Amino acid sequence: MKKTWKQHLQQSICTLDEFQRRFPQAPIDATACQTFPMRITPYYLGLIRTFDFSDPIYAQCVPQSAELKTPHWLTEDPLAEHAQQPVPGLIQRYPDRVLLITTGQCAVRCRHCMRKRLTKREMNAADHRVQERWIAYLHAHPEIRDVLVSGGDPLLLPEKNLFALLCAIRTVPSVEIIRIATRIPVTLPMRITKTLAQRLAAFSPLYINTHFNHPVEVTPEAAHALKLLADAGLPLGNQTVLLKGINDAPETIETLCRLLLKHRVRPYYLFQCDLVEGTEHFRTPLETGLGIMSYLRGRLSGLGIPHFALDTPENGKIELVPNAILSRTSKSTLLRTSNNKTIHYPEPAP
C-alpha cells in the first residue's frame, strides 16, 4: 500500500545519525547539518539517482561543507523582510500586495532556501491572534489587492486552519487575488488531492505558484498533482531558482520549461539565487542567466519563457534581459536577434 502524505512527513530524514545509518557511504557534512538542519521526505529522497553532490536532488537537500563558506555579502535575511513587517508575519514591499508567512515548516528543507532563518528553527504556524491582525491590516489598507500566502509551505497547514485563513482574506473587499506559494507538488505531491484542489478553487481567483528546479522533479506523481490543480481551474505558475551545478545549463532549463508547459504550468520566474547565508556555492554569474535567456528566445514560444529576475530588499524584483538594442539613431535601431544576427529596424519618420 502506498504511503500517505502524512506518513511521508513522519518518515522524513531529519537527523545526521538517521541519514548516515541509512546511507553510510554518502557524503554529508555534520557541521552544516547542525547549522542548517535537514528534512527530506521519502518521496523526494527516491528521486536521487547518484548519492553525491553531482546529483541535482541530492545537492538540493543534503547538507554539504560548502554551506559553511559565508562571505560578508550573504546574510540571514537578504531581502530585509524582518524590517518590512508592519505587523508580525505580514511583509509589504509593494504598495498593492503583501506576503503572509503562515508557517516555518516545509516538507523538504531546501539548501538554497531564502528563508532558512525560519525553516532552520521550524517556526510554528501563525496563530489566530496574529492572523486577526493580518486581516485587520488588510481592511485598513484597501490599496492592497493581492495577497501571497507563503511560508514555509502553507499546504502543510491543517486544512481547517488553511481554509479559515482563506475565508478571512476573502472577507476583505479590496483583495482581488490570492496566491499560494508552495513546493508541495515537487516534494510531497501526494498531499494534493482532488478534494483539496476543489476546495482551493472555491476561493478563485486563486493562483498556485510552485517551485520546480530540475526536470527530474517532474515525475508522474508530480504531474498527477498538477493535473488535479489544473483540472480544478487553478492557474499554475512556476518559480525556478538558478543553481550552479544543478540547473545552470541552458538545455536543462529548456527541458524543464517544456515539461511544465506540457502539464499546464506557466514558467513564471527564473530567479537569480538570493544572497542568503550558506548559498555561495549555488550562485551563478548574472551572465549565466542572461545566456540562458538568449538561448531560450529562439527555441521556446513566449508562453514558455520565464522572466529572469534578481530580487532586492529595497527595490523589489529587477528583471534582467539580454541586450537586444546595439545602437540607435533617429532613423533606425540596430538590433540583435535571438539567433545572434543583426538587423536594422526603421524608426517612424518625423
The catalytic site residues sit at 93-94, 97, 106, 110, 113, 115, 274, 311, 317
The answer to whether 91 and 84 are in contact (CB under 8 A) is yes
Residue 253's nearest CA partner among 311, 209, 309, 293 is 293
Q: Pull the grid cell for residue 93.
A: 514591499
Cell reading at 130: 496574529
- Whole-angstrom CA distances from 304 to 192, 297, 301 are 24, 10, 6
Cell of 47: 528521486
Length of the chain: 350
- Whole-number Å distance between alpha carbons of 206 and 239: 16
DSSP state of 67: G
Please report, as a single letter, which amino acid is at residue 263. H
At residue 53, the 3 state secondary structure works out as: coil
Q: What contacts 277, CB < 8 A, 6 or more positions away?
A: 70, 74, 75, 76, 116
